[in-house]
Structure 1
Amino acid sequence: MPRLYEIMDSQYRSNNNEINWAELRKRAQEKIMAEVPPEILGKYRDQEAKNIVRKKLTTMIDLEYSALPFNARQSIIERLVNEIQGYGPIEQFLDNTNITEIIVEKYDKIIIEENGELKETDVKFDNEEHLRLVIERIIAPIGRRLDYSSPMVDARLPDGSRVCAVIPPISPDGATITIRKFRPNVSINDLVRWGMLPEKLKESLAKCVKARLNIIISGGTGSGKTTFLNALSEFIDPRLSIITIENPIEMQLRHPHVRRWEARPANIEGAGEVNMMSLVQTALRSRPDIIIVGEVRGKEAYAMIQAMNTGHLGSMTTLHANNTAQAMERLIAMVASAQEYPKDLVPSLIAESVDLVIHIMRFPDGKRRVVEISEVVGERNQKIITNLLVKFKVDEFKDKEIIGHWEETGNKFTKRELLKERGVDFDSFL
């Protein structure tokens, strides 16, 4: 079948007849509203609901435009189904498993990330109103609003994908929306196959998780931090109890005993907010063995460090940073922002709590790779001392792909004895 929107732009001519897209869409919507039960119409992206709508539209299009080629009619039907029962022009990208991110920079400019590479598309919304309609359709079922007083939304779709929408006055050139698609059931073996880390390093990190080291995963936006943390969870002892805390929920841990908690923004009246800090504090009273915070961004980092320092061995979190050393600097700032602990003692508190820092980077060739692994060895002059153990070294850039290898730095892994005390034999990372 030809790609949607290539066969039809605003009009399609055949046998001296014109199909006006706006008029056809209006009539199709009226037909569906009149003939389909209301409860079906609200089930956006639901396959059963789509099939019901598709059946109605097929009858209509086949009858009215029988002169058109079969492929053309099918493309028209699918586009109408997407407009009525889906998310309009971007629906086709949501259904494509090779596409991991959709960025609508403006109503007439849509960019996708496909197989790790950003690409411009020729797909667009009709106008700003059309884009805003689809955004409202996306956020309405999850109880969020987007208006002048609340011009930003960061939320989770029912399938686990993450959506961030911004409208004027924050975005003066018009509404924008980014959807980072959730990739379910990504295992650590998948990450090895995709070149994120080598097999030997996977086995070594598995031992660190089994020994219940407290781990922080750092990296830039879209580097794969949450995916990597999710994959590491398969090495957690199945007898342990885990609480995950996120905003919004993205992880689906491969573990039998997981309680998933999600922070909640204030409602339209400004009440009902449940922030990350309060959830971590509540988790401390809920008898988990391990607490996993999807991402620390502010003062909740203090509660996370408290969890790591009060017997919740094996706890993990992610944060934004450019390398493992900077991750510690950012963590100091976030913990201090809670103003719950003397500022000059924060570095020593973190040094006593965090064992391992893993840094991930998204490279120009689109691939994500583990680029640094450091252990936290102490504190000096209110700075956290890290010991770089493993690094990724770039050898060459060949055929648009980065070729490199992982190597140990030769620095002694001081926590090897700690792993041994916890019943885990450890020889080397690589």
Structure 2
Amino acid sequence: MSLYDRLNARRTGASPAPTVQAPEIVEPPAPTEAETTVLDSVDEPAFVPPEGGSVPAQEPDRSSVPEAVVDPLAGVKEKAAQELFGRIGVRLNDSTLTEQQLHDLARKELAEIVAGEQLALTITERNRLIDDISADVLGYGPLEPLLDDDNITEIMVNRYDRIYVEVRGRIMPVAARFTGEPQLRRVIERIVARVGRRIDESSPMVDARLEDGSRVNAVVPPLAVDGSSLTIRKFAATPYTVQDLIGFGSVTPQVAAVLDAAVKAKLNIIVSGGTGTGKTTLLNVLSSFIPGDERIVTIEDAVELQLQQEHVVRLESRPANIEGRGEVTIRDLVRNSLRMRPDRIVVGEVRGAESLDMLQAMNTGHEGSISTIHANSPRDAVSRLETLVLMAGMELPLRAIREQVAAAIDIIVQIQRHRDGGRRIVSVTEVHGMEGEVVTLQDAFSFDHSAGFDAEGRLLGRIRPTGVRPRFAERIADAGIALPMSLFQDDALDAPHLGGMR
């Protein structure tokens, strides 16, 4: 037992506690080598589907939350953190200091604070204590090891002592804990301050991002009744390519070839799907098809897209300041982007009045625009676009709105998360135009569920051509892009792909 641990025992008057390690994730046994990718399908208990292909409902995981390991030096750490705040608190958000300079300054002050405690620690133990306090004050506290774990795709803090993660499509609790509500609030405030946002009782909700692009949402009291809530959706350090999605079974080579040609031919594309279905991931892949010599303007609430081209201008909306002024909405940015000579406009998500400006841009010479929308089907996506345009307050007739939608949108790509945890493209739908008062749609590809599930509960179906040659194939040919018509025929498909992107 080290002197560090013996000291902990003496301070608490309890039996020596084990060394505090990074929180262990309570999860099933490690997957096989073929299943190690973060986008592979979820390992479910093996079963044989009943006759008819239906799958019995899965019982939710009711495992109890693991008990937290008590840190005997929590009091020392909290006291040192408070003293550090007293010394350099005003400089924590100093924009003139780099992260490295801030960490160097904090470690220097912490070394003096810890030395003043006169603890009988070795150099290694003293450095470990300084690292722990530095992570609490300058980093993300108990979330640090979770953020470093590439297998974790989502971190959900329900309150300071209830933390859950998503690993390979499964949600499970972890033993990590914040020391209390104040530490959790410090972490939230540090995250939002880095991107120029604020969170307090007058503005208790915020969307932000980490340095690696991970999406952050935070809600604090009084809206969060049981204490502050924090949700972090992590993104891969290296953006996924179309070959990755093909390998994961999220898309077939045939669909990928058609979407590649559609982007290059400057067709307007909407990616539709529910929450957590992988719309942003697919939007990144579609954006990668844009030729490198075109000027791209991206517009987002919080920057998440990871475009690899060089000629890219990234715009981000801004909320109002504490006086209620200075707000810049997505709609403002869409309007401004039209004056920036864009070849492509990529809107991270349309969820309000900006949909009208986006449709107008698509109809006035800005072809090749791409965006996402929350909807459960292509038909729902069209209906939701109509509703969002009405939110602009222009009092347009419904037929005029539908004509705008039918003229602007060429393709709707529907993506869905299936019961086995895989995220897959389930339809590629062409917007034909108007027939009477209705916007007509035609599937070029649709998902075939008839194959059912395998013995491990993984979906065997795949997306297949409907056999109908879409009209946009002519526009692709007019753009000088060779696209074999055999891609739209259901006679040369490979074996089914398991999995789906996560």
TM-score between both structures, scaled by the size of structure 2? 0.75
Match of 2:407 in 1: 352
1:212 and 2:260 correspond: no
What do residues 386-429 of structure 1 show as CA deviations (whole Å, max 9, x unaligned)? 11121223430542433322211223312211211111122225
CA distance 1:88–1:2, shift in 2 (3 Å): closer
Match of 1:396 in 2: 453
1:32 Cα deviation after fit? 9.1
**Within 5 A, what are the aligned runs for 1:192-231?**
192-231=246-285
Match of 1:148 in 2: 201
Is residue 245–residue 294 contact of structure 1 (8 Å, CA) maintained in 2? yes
Is residue 84–residue 106 contact of structure 2 (8 Å, CA) maintained in 1? no
Give the secondary structure class of the aligned counterpart of 2:350: coil
The letter for the 2-side match of 1:287 is R
Residue of 427, 430, 445 corresponding to 1:375: 430
**Within 5 A, what are the aligned runs for 1:68-79?**
78-79=131-132
CA distance 1:251–1:400, shift in 2 (3 Å): same
Residue of 22, 34, 42 corresponding to 1:4: 22
Cα distance in 2 for partners of 1:392, 1:74 equals 56
1:8 Cα deviation after fit? 8.4
Is residue 297–residue 313 contact of structure 2 (8 Å, CA) maintained in 1? yes
**Within 5 A, what are the aligned runs for 1:164-243?**
164-186=217-239, 187-243=241-297
Cα distance in 1 for partners of 2:321, 2:482 equals 51
1:159 and 2:212 correspond: yes
Match of 2:165 in 1: 112
RMSD: 3.1
Cα distance in 2 for partners of 1:298, 1:57 equals 47
Match of 1:288 in 2: 342
Cα distance in 2 for partners of 1:198, 1:78 equals 47
Cα distance in 2 for partners of 1:268, 1:252 equals 31
Is residue 213–residue 314 contact of structure 1 (8 Å, CA) maintained in 2? yes
Q: Which has the higher contact order (CA 8 A, sep 6+)?
A: 2
CA distance 1:64–1:334, shift in 2 (3 Å): same
Match of 1:14 in 2: none
Name which of structure 1's ranges 240-249 and 76-85 shifts more when overlaid on structure 2: 76-85
Give the secondary structure class of the aligned counterpart of 2:459: strand
1:366 Cα deviation after fit? 2.6
Cα distance in 2 for partners of 1:210, 1:303 equals 23
Give the secondary structure class of the aligned counterpart of 1:111: strand
Gaps spanning 5+ residues in structure 1: where? 12-18
Cα distance in 2 for partners of 1:168, 1:181 equals 24
Cα distance in 1 for partners of 2:165, 2:204 equals 23
What do residues 60-93 of structure 1 show as CA deviations (whole Å, max 9, x unaligned)? 69x945589x7x8887565333212211111221
Match of 1:16 in 2: none
Give the secondary structure class of the aligned counterpart of 1:360: strand
TM-score between both structures, scaled by the size of structure 1? 0.87
Name which of structure 1's ranges 19-28 and 322-331 shifts more when overlaid on structure 2: 19-28
Cα distance in 1 for partners of 2:84, 2:321 equals 35
What do residues 211-251 of structure 1 show as CA deviations (whole Å, max 9, x unaligned)? 11110001111211112111111211222211111111111
1:328 and 2:382 correspond: yes
Match of 2:421 in 1: 366
1:153 Cα deviation after fit? 0.8
CA distance 1:40–1:126, shift in 2 (3 Å): closer
Cα distance in 2 for partners of 1:398, 1:49 equals 54
Is residue 41–residue 49 contact of structure 1 (8 Å, CA) maintained in 2? no
Greater strand share, 1 or 2? 1
CA distance 1:41–1:144, shift in 2 (3 Å): closer
Residue of 353, 360, 368 corresponding to 1:306: 360
The letter for the 2-side match of 1:151 is P
Cα distance in 1 for partners of 2:111, 2:418 equals 45
The count of corresponding residues between Structure 1 and Structure 2 is 420
The letter for the 1-side match of 2:223 is I
What do residues 266-311 of structure 1 show as CA deviations (whole Å, max 9, x unaligned)? 1111111111112111112221111111100011001111111111
CA distance 1:386–1:74, shift in 2 (3 Å): farther
Cα distance in 1 for partners of 2:316, 2:285 equals 20
